[in-house]
Amino acid sequence: MGAFFSQYGVQILCFLLGAFFIGVSYAAMRAQRSGVWFIGGILILIGGLLSPCKWPALLALADQGFWFPFYMFRDYMNDKAVAKRFESYYRENGITPDPEAEISYDKNLKVRIDERDEELVWNYRNSSVYHLRIPRINFVIAKDRDGNERLIVERCDGKERKVEVKPFGHDGASISNIRYKKGIFNVRLSAVTVLQR
């Protein structure tokens, strides 16, 4: 028994620690917290490459950290596709996006989702596409030809996309009855002034 552990002890330790870190990461993901991605996969990869049988190294792919570059590329391509769709929405609604739009440091965009009891605060940037994952919508706040701010919303109800254009005044705007797999959501958007110190 001692000969077995002296020969395979490092590999077994790497596998056990790697499985522990992957388990912690998945548990943290289910609790909507950040985990320790990539560490468990690296340990399993090391253990697999040190063992005489190399195929267990493939178990490292169970770690979400190895898939991170794929997710980054997928989000990049999705952002390009959404931006292209919004170009046609701009033309249809007489809106000229400002290519030189910069982040506003005196305003923030507040996103309130009552059903999830969640409030997000993002940097306010005119003519910038924002993405909300749950419920699934893409939106832009841009100025029309008359200088009025408009909210262009693309709802992603399953495979179907619906576009709405609403005025975005001092009180902000609401997007209601957004269907998502976990129910119906209402989103409230408003621009809030940042207090300067």
pLDDT digit string, tens, across residues 150-170:
888 888 776 778 888 888 888
pLDDT value at residue 88: 81
- Give the pairing of strands 118-125 and 137-143: unpaired
Kindly state whether residues 89 and 137 are assigned to the same domain.
Answer: yes
Kindly state whether residues 58 and 96 are assigned to the same domain.
Answer: no
Please report whether residue 141 resides in a domain.
yes
Kindly state whether residues 97 and 57 are assigned to the same domain.
Answer: no
Structural domain ending residue among the three candidates 11, 29, 62: 62
Give φ, ψ of 148 to 5 degrees. Answer: -85, 140
- The answer, yes or no, to whether residue 115 has pLDDT greater than 90, is no
Query: Cβ atoms within 10 A of the Cβ of 120, count?
Result: 14
Kindly state whether residues 105 and 170 are assigned to the same domain.
Answer: yes
Sole residue written with tokens 């989000």:
75
Please report whether residue 68 resides in a domain.
no
Kindly state whether residues 25 and 104 are assigned to the same domain.
Answer: no
Please report whether residue 94 resides in a domain.
yes
Distance CA 86, CA 122 (A): 20
Kindly state whether residues 149 and 189 are assigned to the same domain.
Answer: yes
Kindly state whether residues 148 and 186 are assigned to the same domain.
Answer: yes
**DSSP classification of residue 163:** E
Judged by average pLDDT, the poorest of 29-38, 52-61, 71-80, 178-187 is 29-38
The domain in which residue 135 lies consists of 85-193
Kindly state whether residues 37 and 119 are assigned to the same domain.
Answer: no
pLDDT digits (tens, 9 = 90+) for 135-150: 888 888 888 778 788 8
pLDDT digits (tens, 9 = 90+) for 10-23: 888 999 999 999 88
Structural domain ending residue among the three candidates 10, 27, 62: 62
Binned at pLDDT 50, 70 and 90, residue 120 comes out as: confident
Kindly state whether residues 127 and 177 are assigned to the same domain.
Answer: yes
Please report whether residue 67 resides in a domain.
no
Kindly state whether residues 30 and 93 are assigned to the same domain.
Answer: no
- The answer, yes or no, to whether residue 102 has pLDDT greater than 80, is no
Query: How many structural domains are present in the chain?
Result: 2
Please report whether residue 69 resides in a domain.
no
Tokens describing residue 58:
């493939």
Kindly state whether residues 46 and 106 are assigned to the same domain.
Answer: no
Please report whether residue 74 resides in a domain.
no
Kindly state whether residues 93 and 187 are assigned to the same domain.
Answer: yes
Please report whether residue 71 resides in a domain.
no
pLDDT digits (tens, 9 = 90+) for 26-62: 888 777 676 778 888 899 999 988 888 888 888 888 8
Please report whether residue 31 resides in a domain.
yes
Q: What is the mean pLDDT of residues 190-197?
A: 74
Q: Is 138 left (phi over 0), alpha (psi -120 to 50) or beta?
A: beta
Give the SS3 label for residue 55: helix
